Amino acid sequence: HKGKEEEQQEQKKQPSSPPKFKHPSASRTTIDYPFAEDDFLREAYCSPGGTMRFGKILEDLDALAGNIAFHHVVGNPMLVTAAVDRIALREIPRLKHDQRLSGQVTWVGNSSMEIRMQIHEVNSTTPTDNDNATDTDNGTDTDANTAEHWLEAFFTFVAVDPETKRPTKICPLSPETSEERALFELGALKAAKKKENRKRGQNFVGKTLTEDDMKMEQRAEQLLEEAFPLLHMPSLADSQAILMSQTVLQNTLIAQPQVRNLANRIFGGFLMRRAFELAFSNAYCFGGCWPHMLEVDNITFHTPVDVGDLLQFTSRVIYSLPSGGNLGTDVAVHSDKPLAMIEVECFVMEPGTAKAHLSNRFYFTFLLPDKDSCKKVLPGSLGEARRMVSRMVADEEQAGLGKGYLRSPKV
């Protein structure tokens, strides 16, 4: 008969079968920023306004979300950032206190997964990583009860087979707590909505327009009619209106190898940072005051970016709310102040063939805190009008998922 030690050694040699499912808590990961005691780290993350540099936060969010996704999957698939649904900010803190970045998997489909990321301030009562930071009774973090998060983000990753380049199945997720089940159901709802929007966004030649399509077309025509004086009688046009084409800002750069990932592709977080910095500059030029970042929404990654690609970022104010709007209580206070919605597109330029293709599209919402109003952005063509209405409708639909865009301000 074999001894117990020999049996244990043989069991270790045998390959373990892949898990049938994983719990959300198994993917929970945290990273601390000791700003209070680390001068070098504080300097690296300090913005000109003395707050935590948001572009760096975007890079860190993408990097940690990618690590969480990698630890959830079984095997070694290639993970691709497919989208960022929403990044809501209650504030951007000054670097007086330590901060904690955390995240976990909240929803898994066949080949895609959603990861919720949060950042909150670390205070003297917040447990450290050496403490038991997870309350096993309810499956939530103890630190979430002591410090409310000021940022929340949802990342979507797709697992791709490295050889076939086709989506591959992901280990299923089994929620345990009521909060985990609610987040899982919300993730499934958002995934279904994305699928529906992709179908609606396709070019259906000869297809009969639906009632919703007709309403969108009517809104586009109304906006174009409102822009008529700007286009044809500019001397008589409203001085508080501006054409969308007059709000464009661009920059161009070469994708460097220092910002590549293991697949030799450019990190999505780097692209988000560059897009944000251009959007911030655009909002500053448009509003005439230092803008406050409120939200990042609907970032889509259409095609990957390779090292050496020539990238052109193009930003524009896709529309504005001169009288303000109500985005809900999960973002910074913004009542009765004008808002600017900025779209940024990243194109991969191919000078050798005189072609270009869209890689990424980003949407940012900025508050103009020192202004009582701003110029209303209007389209210069039917194509721009449809584009503007499409963005407005997308924001209004997000309100049904708790976003709160374009709700009437409370009296």
pLDDT digits (tens, 9 = 90+) for 27-53: 999 999 999 999 999 999 999 988 999
pLDDT digits (tens, 9 = 90+) for 156-180: 999 988 888 889 999 999 999 999 9
As given in the structure block, the two tokens for residue 179 are 């909060």
Kindly state the average pLDDT of the residues 108-112.
93
| Rounded Cα–Cα distance for residues 343 and 299 (Å) | 10
pLDDT at 202: 56
As given in the structure block, the two tokens for residue 35 are 């700003």
- One DSSP character per residue, 209-256 reads P-HHHHHHHHHHHHHHHHTHHHHH-GGGS-TTEEEGGGG-EEEEEEPP
pLDDT at 30: 95
pLDDT digits (tens, 9 = 90+) for 261-311: 877 789 899 999 999 999 999 999 999 999 999 888 878 888 889 999 999
pLDDT digits (tens, 9 = 90+) for 346-359: 999 999 999 999 99
* Sign (positive or negative) of CA dihedral 402, 403, 409, 411: positive
Helices 268-287 and 54-72: crossing angle in degrees, nearest 10, is 150
Kindly state the average pLDDT of the residues 331-336.
73
As given in the structure block, the two tokens for residue 244 are 């969308």
- For the ranges 2-11, 101-110, 321-330, the maximum mean pLDDT occurs at 101-110
Share of the chain above pLDDT 70, in %: 82
| Rounded Cα–Cα distance for residues 355 and 376 (Å) | 33
Look at 57-61, 75-79, 249-253 and tell me which has the smallest mean pLDDT.
75-79
Report the helix count and the strand count for the chain, using DSSP H and E: 9, 14
Assess whether pLDDT exceeds 60 at residue 127: no
Assess whether pLDDT exceeds 50 at residue 370: yes
- Hey, is 361 helix, strand or coil? strand
pLDDT at 251: 96
| Rounded Cα–Cα distance for residues 96 and 98 (Å) | 7
Q: How confident is the model at residue 6 (pLDDT cuts 50, 70, 90)?
A: low
| Rounded Cα–Cα distance for residues 386 and 406 (Å) | 18
- How many of the other CB atoms lie within 10 Å of CB of 380? 15
Assess whether pLDDT exceeds 60 at residue 372: yes
Q: Counting Cβ atoms within 10 Å, is residue 209 exposed (0-12), middle (13-18) or buried (19+)? A: exposed
Look at 60-69, 83-92, 98-107, 328-337 and tell me which has the smallest mean pLDDT.
328-337
- One DSSP character per residue, 25-48 reads GGG-EEEEE-TTT-HHHHHHTB-T
Share of the chain above pLDDT 90, in %: 58
Assess whether pLDDT exceeds 50 at residue 144: no
- How many of the other CB atoms lie within 10 Å of CB of 239? 6
The helix (H) or strand (E) run that includes residue 205 is none
